[in-house]
Structure 1
Amino acid sequence: MNQTVVDLLARNVDHAHEFKTRFDDVQDAQYPGAVTVCCSDSRVLQDHIWGNDEPGQLFSCGNIGNRVIQRTDEGDVVSGDVLYPIAHTGTKTAIVMGHTGCGAVTATYDDLTEGLDEPAGISHCLDLLKPPLEPALDMLPDDVSRAGTINRLVEYNVDRQIQMLLESEDVLDDVDCIGVVYDFQDVYDGERGEVHVINVDGETNVETLQAAHPELEARIERLWEY
């Protein structure tokens, strides 16, 4: 067995000791307060970001590009990974989390502008991101750097994923849909590793969001209001 697996299993022993009584109330059912859709980037530690160490609190989904959509024979629909807790466990909050320097958004941008030759599985994921991202290309500022471009597209992608949730007939109207960006590259104000709110139920204007949520004023920030 390679050393990476050996080390992971060793850490799991510590986890098992720490968590052995924490499953008592959730062994037979789960009622998570939120479903989170994060990028599967190794730098984005989904539960750790929220300080979550209690089983049953969050239903965590991960994929490249924090996508809420899957492609089926009937067309593009909200992914079952995202929809399951909304449909079956009473979850009323959906959080879509992008992150600074996202590789999936970068690859999608490069594929749209230059074309990429990726394995079929990766191409499929990029093909799901390209339609929502493509309209943004003509709106990007001319004087922004490549890194700035990517981080603006990260916000735009989160907005489009939230829009897909809001427009889906499978997501009930009483589900709150929140878009955020996780920053570990010092792009936003605040500390490295903070989560910044950029979208609440489709509203993206910073002043409007800050007025509506004064308790979170310092955490509401955008790079791009297009």
Structure 2
Amino acid sequence: MNRTIVDLLADNAEHAHAFAGRFDEVQEGQHPEAVTICCSDSRVLQDQLFGNETPGRLFTCGNIGNRVVQRTDAGEVVSGDVLYPLAHAGTRTAVVVGHTGCGAVTATYGALTGDLDGDDEPSGIRHCVDLLGPHLEPGVDLLPDGLDDAAAVDRLVEYNVDRQVEQLVNSDDVPDDTDVVGVVYDFQDVYGGERGEVHVINVDGERDPEVLRGEHGEVADRVRRLWTY
């Protein structure tokens, strides 16, 4: 057997031993507190970044670029995997989780600036970049002059989170009483806090840090943005 699978199964045995008694309350269904939409980057530990060890607490969605939309014959709509807990499990909190150094944003930035030939990518990856492209293109035009590529990407990470939050806030399919929060997970020392901290950048479409700190004083020290536009 592939050594990686052997190791994964061994780790799963430890997980099963530790968690065996934690599934009693969710045998018949789920009512998660929040749905999180994270990038599927292997460095983004979707449950661990929120300290979650409770089955049924978080409904986790992952894809490259932490996108909330999918493309259908009717155009772009909020993805079904994001909508499911909102529509069927009583969840009323959605958290869009971007992260520093995002590869999907990097690839989209490269495609928009002509530094990357997207035609060289497999069609599935091109599809994901194509979904992000129209949403990020206005942000590229707004970037301050003089940024290196890494700094530009981290600002576009915020811009992308803002656009995904906007999609949820404006969608008729998302219940009106849903709280939508946009955050950035930093493991590259970009925001100046601890590695692995989550920084709040957007709440229900509001992205002014001063306003957010005033309205959400209990988490004021976690509100931080790299740029406003």
- Please show how residues 139-154 of structure 1 align to structure 2 within 5 Å: 139-154=142-157
Q: For residues 141 and 50 of structure 2, what CA distance do their matches in structure 1 show? A: 35
Q: Which residue is equivalent to 1:23?
A: 23
Question: Would you identify which runs of 4 or more consecutive aligned residues in structure 1 move more than 2 Å?
Answer: none
Deviations 1:158-181, CA, capped at 9 Å, x for gaps: 000000001110001100000000
Alignment partner of 2:214: what SS? helix
Deviation at 1:189, TM superposition (A): 2.3
Letter in 2 for 1:171: V
Q: For residues 152 and 42 of structure 1, what CA distance do their matches in structure 2 show? A: 21
Alignment partner of 2:21: what SS? coil
Q: For residues 149 and 7 of structure 2, what CA distance do their matches in structure 1 show? A: 37
2:211 equivalent to 1:183: no
TM-score (norm 2): 0.98
Between 1:62-71 and 1:136-145, the stretch displaced more is 136-145
Q: Which residue is equivalent to 2:133?
A: 130
Q: Percent identity?
A: 67
The RMSD of aligned alpha carbons is: 0.6
Q: Which residue is equivalent to 2:103?
A: 103
Q: Which residue is equivalent to 1:112?
A: 112
Deviations 1:164-218, CA, capped at 9 Å, x for gaps: 0011100011000000000000000210100000000000000000011111111
Deviations 1:113-167, CA, capped at 9 Å, x for gaps: 1132211000000011001000111110012121110000000000000000011
Deviations 1:90-121, CA, capped at 9 Å, x for gaps: 00000000000000000001111113221100
Alignment partner of 1:21: what SS? helix
Alignment partner of 2:131: what SS? helix
Q: For residues 165 and 31 of structure 2, what CA distance do their matches in structure 1 show? A: 22
- Select the residue among 207, 225, 228 that pairs with 1:225: 228
Q: For residues 61 and 74 of structure 2, what CA distance do their matches in structure 1 show? A: 22
Q: For residues 64 and 171 of structure 1, what CA distance do their matches in structure 2 show? A: 22
- Gap regions ≥5 residues in structure 2: none
Q: Which residue is equivalent to 1:5?
A: 5
Q: For residues 74 and 214 of structure 1, what CA distance do their matches in structure 2 show? A: 41
TM-score (norm 1): 0.99
Paired residue total? 226
Q: For residues 15 and 150 of structure 2, what CA distance do their matches in structure 1 show? A: 37
- Gap regions ≥5 residues in structure 1: none
Letter in 2 for 1:225: T
